[in-house]
Amino acid sequence: MITFSTNMHEVFAEISNKLNMIDAQKISNAMALAVLGEMHDRIHERGEASDGSQIGTYSDGYMKVRTGNFADKNYTKGKNKGNPRTMYNRANDTKVVASLTREMEENMTVIPLGNGKTGIGWIVNGEQNYDKSHYVEATYGKGIYKPTERERELAIQTANDEVAKILGS
């Protein structure tokens, strides 16, 4: 009779101990942080919706506001008549990047939600920026702030990498 012995119970105990050390909130935060940069660039620089298409095109009137390209640099109507117009000095590119003052894009951040969950949203002017995000999606009739397939894959890869670090792989 041949007998075999292993240290499998010790190996399983060590793996179990390492798995118990996993901090789900930390991994979720890492996933959201990895996606945040990609999402920011996709929306606010490349002007791409979640499906990979261009978000839209700014109108001629909006482009005047965006670039400050007015014949008269003062308001000519309304309550601000005679006062200087706000100059945003943005580029002449008409592709929608959901940013005029940069406030919304600069305040997009990772928000720990607890219970191992993390979101991407806004803490500064959170409700206002959330409403703006829905307005932009409704205006252009497409999902913009939903993660793309690539962003979801990036989140999963980040989680796998974090678990591998903990397990020492």
Determine the pLDDT at residue 169: 59
Question: Is residue 122 located within the same domain as residue 73?
Answer: no
Q: Would 4 be classed as within a structural domain?
A: no
Q: How confident is the model at residue 88 (pLDDT cuts 50, 70, 90)?
A: confident
Question: Is residue 45 located within the same domain as residue 118?
Answer: yes
Could you identify the residue written with the tokens 């806004």? 122
Question: Is residue 103 located within the same domain as residue 90?
Answer: no
Q: Would 11 be classed as within a structural domain?
A: no
For the entire predicted model, the pTM comes to 0.78
**Burial class of residue 16, CB neighbours in 10 A (0-12, 13-18, 19+):** exposed
Question: Is residue 116 located within the same domain as residue 151?
Answer: yes
In percent, the amount of the chain with pLDDT more than 90 equals: 49
DSSP secondary structure letters along 38-101: HHHHHHHTS-B-TTSSB--B--HHHHHHHHT--SSSB--SSTTTTSBPP-----S--B--S-SS
Judged against a pLDDT cut of 90, whether residue 29 lies above it is answered with yes
Question: Is residue 112 located within the same domain as residue 52?
Answer: yes
Question: Is residue 112 located within the same domain as residue 159?
Answer: yes
CA-angle at 106, arms to 95 and 92, nearest 5°:
25
Quote the number of domains for the chain. Answer: 2
* Domain housing 133: 24-56+97-169
Cβ distance 85 to 73 under 8 Å?
Answer: yes
In percent, the amount of the chain with pLDDT more than 70 equals: 99
Determine the pLDDT at residue 52: 95
Question: Is residue 129 located within the same domain as residue 145?
Answer: yes
Question: Is residue 105 located within the same domain as residue 145?
Answer: yes
Question: Is residue 63 located within the same domain as residue 37?
Answer: no
Q: What is the pLDDT of residues 32-86, one digit of tens each?
A: 999 999 999 999 999 999 999 999 999 888 888 888 887 778 888 889 888 888 8
154: nearest Cα among 47, 59, 35: 35
Question: Is residue 115 located within the same domain as residue 43?
Answer: yes
Higher pLDDT, 115 or 157: 157
Q: Would 12 be classed as within a structural domain?
A: no
Determine the pLDDT at residue 13: 82
Q: Tell me how far apart the alpha carbons of residues 135 and 138 are, in angstroms, rounded to a whole number.
A: 5
